[in-house]
Amino acid sequence: MHAPLSALANLRGELGRIPLTRAMGLSVEGVHGDTLVLAAPLAPNVNDKGCAFGGSLASLMTLAGWSLLELALEARALPADIYVQDSSIRYLAPVWHDFRAIAAPAPGESLDAFAATFAERGKARLRVHCRVPLPDGGDAATLDARFVALAGR
Amino acid sequence: MHAPLSALANLRGELGRIPLTRAMGLSVEGVHGDTLVLAAPLAPNVNDKGCAFGGSLASLMTLAGWSLLELALEARALPADIYVQDSSIRYLAPVWHDFRAIAAPAPGESLDAFAATFAERGKARLRVHCRVPLPDGGDAATLDARFVALAGR
């Protein structure tokens, strides 16, 4: 994805206006092609057992997906309201360290096609796959979600 | 569910040790039979659009399910570590007000059977259905999740 610095700055600003992202210490780690990475430190995101709270993992993965769409449309100067419609989450292993959520279009989906549909119709959907990697390369958690972008701002 | 005040106090203490629940302003509203209700104010849980952040809805519903199992075992003096294994979430309508998450065993499931299995084997699973009601009686969001309780503390 070609994401101008101004689009990335806008995304950071929008994420910063969500109080819970500040409480989580969320940051935008980067954008690489069609992949977007958010990061969070463990300390503000622990559960009662001292590993990462499931709600924090779910929130970071959902926000990574949301950010992927937001940035794709921002970068093309297409303002939109983006909503998550549904998601399936699997919690596979406890997370004992700072963590990242990596979001990309689901297989068969494309940001270009999504943006083209949105530009034409003022509405478009995208399925996103997101994962929280473990240090050894496996997954600690995965999310498959559907998002919708609506014109109107 | 018969939940002694001490079990409810323990649950509140455990939830209070999760930093994100404090950031969310989460509270235990009550327990009625096999149903547990958590509540959260809108202000600390808004998204960029001013309605409830999807991550907050997901977190509150997941915690309501987790609390249902926690309290059921606490009330029976069966200490356990409880983990969410997977969940499906549907976001049906924006939430513009303080909100609650209502958790109950999924159809065909029972807290008594879950607790009996746990007491016998030191491990038990429960499927939970959770909803965030709208003021008009519909659902703003729903979650179906599987949890596992493990002995070991």
Q: What is the pLDDT of residues A5-35, one digit of tens each?
A: 788 899 999 999 999 999 999 999 999 989 9
Q: Are B43 and B50 in contact (CB under 8 A)?
A: no
- Does the beta carbon of B95 lie under 8 angstroms from any beta carbon of chain A? no
Please list every residue in chain B whose beta carbon sits closer than 8 Å to the beta carbon of residue A58: 55, 58-59, 62, 87, 89
What does pTM read for this prediction?
Answer: 0.94
* Angle formed by the axes of helices A5-16 and A54-75, nearest 10°: 140
The pLDDT value recorded for residue B152 is: 77
Q: Which residue of A has its CA nearest to B22?
A: A23
Give the number of beta-carbon pairs within 8 Å between A and B.
Answer: 107
Alpha-helical (H) ranges within chain B are 5-16, 19-24, 54-74, 111-121
The mean pLDDT value for A120-127 works out to 97
pLDDT tier for residue A121 given thresholds of 50, 70 and 90 = very high
Distance between CA atoms of A67 and B55, rounded to whole angstroms? Answer: 13
The pLDDT value recorded for residue A94 is: 94
Distance between CA atoms of A74 and A9, rounded to whole angstroms? Answer: 10
Helix (H, G, I), strand (E, B) or coil at B44: helix
* Chain B from 15 to 44: CB within 8 A of any A CB: 15, 17-20, 23-24, 43-44
Phi, psi of A107 (to 5 degrees): -50, 135
pLDDT tier for residue A2 given thresholds of 50, 70 and 90 = low
Residue identified by tokens 């999740």 is B145
Interface probe with B: pick from A59, A60, A63, A128, most Cβ of B within 10 Å: A59
C-alpha separations of B59 from A136, B62, B66, B142 in Å: 27, 5, 10, 12
Q: Model ipTM?
A: 0.92
Helix (H, G, I), strand (E, B) or coil at B16: helix
Q: Which residue of B has its CA nearest to A18?
A: B47
Alpha-helical (H) ranges within chain A are 5-16, 19-24, 54-75, 111-121
The pLDDT value recorded for residue B153 is: 55
pLDDT per residue as tens, chain B (153 positions): 666 778 889 999 999 999 999 999 999 999 998 999 999 999 999 998 899 999 999 999 999 999 999 999 999 999 999 999 999 999 999 999 999 999 999 999 999 999 999 999 999 999 999 999 999 889 999 999 999 999 975
Q: Are B68 and B130 in contact (CB under 8 A)?
A: no
Chain-chain contact of B59 with A62 (C-beta, under 8 angstroms): no
Please list every residue in chain B whose beta carbon sits closer than 8 Å to the beta carbon of residue A81: 49
Chain-chain contact of B89 with A85 (C-beta, under 8 angstroms): no
| Residues sharing a CB contact under 8 Å with residue A123, sequence separation 6 or more, in sequence order | A117, A148, A149, A150, A151
The pLDDT value recorded for residue B3 is: 67
The pLDDT value recorded for residue A61 is: 97
- Does the beta carbon of A58 lie under 8 angstroms from any beta carbon of chain B? yes
Q: Which residue of B has its CA nearest to A94?
A: B83
Q: Which residue of A has its CA nearest to B61?
A: A55
Nearest to A59 by CA among A15, A93, A94: A15
The pLDDT value recorded for residue A4 is: 74
Phi, psi of A12 (to 5 degrees): -60, -40
Helix (H, G, I), strand (E, B) or coil at A74: helix
Give the pLDDT confidence of A38-84 residue by residue, as tens digits. 999 999 999 988 999 999 999 999 999 999 999 999 999 999 999 99
Chain-chain contact of B19 with A44 (C-beta, under 8 angstroms): yes
Please list every residue in chain A whose beta carbon sits closer than 8 Å to the beta carbon of residue B81: 49
C-alpha separations of A44 from A18, A21, A41, B23 in Å: 16, 11, 7, 10
**Longest C-alpha distance within chain A, in Å?**
49
Please give the domain boundaries of chain B with CATH numbers for all domains: 5-150 (3.10.129.10)
Our CA-based measurement puts residue B9 at a distance from the nearest CA of chain A, in whole angstroms, of: 15
Tell me which of A104 and A8 has the higher pLDDT.
Answer: A104
| CB-neighbour burial class of residue A42 (10 A; exposed 0-12, middle 13-18, buried 19+) | middle
